[in-house]
Amino acid sequence: MDKKPILVVALGGNALLKRGDPLEAGIQQKNILIAASVIAGLTAQWRVVLVHGNGPQVGLLALQNAAYTSVNPYPLDVLGAETQGMIGYMLQQALKNCLPDTHITTLLTQVKVDTLDPAFQDPCKFIGPLYSADQLAALPADNPWQIKADGYGFRRVVPSPLPVSIVESAAIITLLADDHLVICNGGGGIPVTEGENGLQGVEAVIDKDQSAALLARQLNADALLILTDADAVYLNWNTPSQEAIAQTTASSLEELRFDAGSMGPKVSACCRFVRQCHGIAGIGALQDGCSILSGKKGTLIVAG
């Protein structure tokens, strides 16, 4: 019997904790139930590998981390590993309840990055909650965080180097071949570099869309689907003339410019995957997940 085609799904951390939502476990669990229902629906047609974001979650852990001053703060790579366990557990449990006869496996995943990546000099990855101007002014004067505008507020930004290779890729391939629904590369993966003493973590958060696209290319997947809190890719986003892009080609999208802190990495990840693997890619809202790759919702990107 032929196996189903492979689909890599990138689930945004903001799809699990919507903008403005309190960063509470109960709210996240409710959103994960919605996500699990969508992912379960995709398994009717696809073998699914699920990558999730962790922007709000790792930012919350960083806040909690900083609040306890009796020990030095834990580095971002360790906090990223914590979010892999936390979010992976919630997703794995919810998916197992939706798909009781399916093997669901969460894999703690390290992803190598380049220490010379220019992203370390220009942090642009948003993490943590959205601050109003008043909340931003109330932060301690000696707070070392870098802050940038994000929509109607402000958020902390950290370096987001490009993923180079997935340390546990062989394990992912083995699990997928055995028909597991694999949850991996959580938060884009735990960022590590390799030196004289082996692997070591670095202070960064890898973009989960770029990480999902790298995984999709390594698996030679048939499709890449990015689920986020935006219902499509838009021209002239957040202006009176904004216009959703329904179906397009990688070449057409690559001629346009998108925000480096939000839609830009999603578009570039999809275009690179489509060009290299000759598959299809989609970007859209979580609730539309089962309709995006058929072109009925969101943005569908094809070769050309």
Residues annotated as catalytic (active site), given as ranges: 13-14, 125, 208, 266
Residue 104: how many other CB atoms lie within 10 Å: 23
β-pair partners for 7: 48, 223
Classify strands 299-302 and 280-285 as parallel, antiparallel or unpaired.
Answer: antiparallel
Residue 118: how many other CB atoms lie within 10 Å: 10
Q: Which residues of 181-201 are buried (b: 16+ CB within 10 A; e: fewer)?
A: bbbbbbbbbbbbbeeeeeeeb
Angle between helices 208-219 and 263-277 (to 10 degrees): 10
Nearest C-alpha neighbor of 35 from the set 234, 299, 261, 225: 225
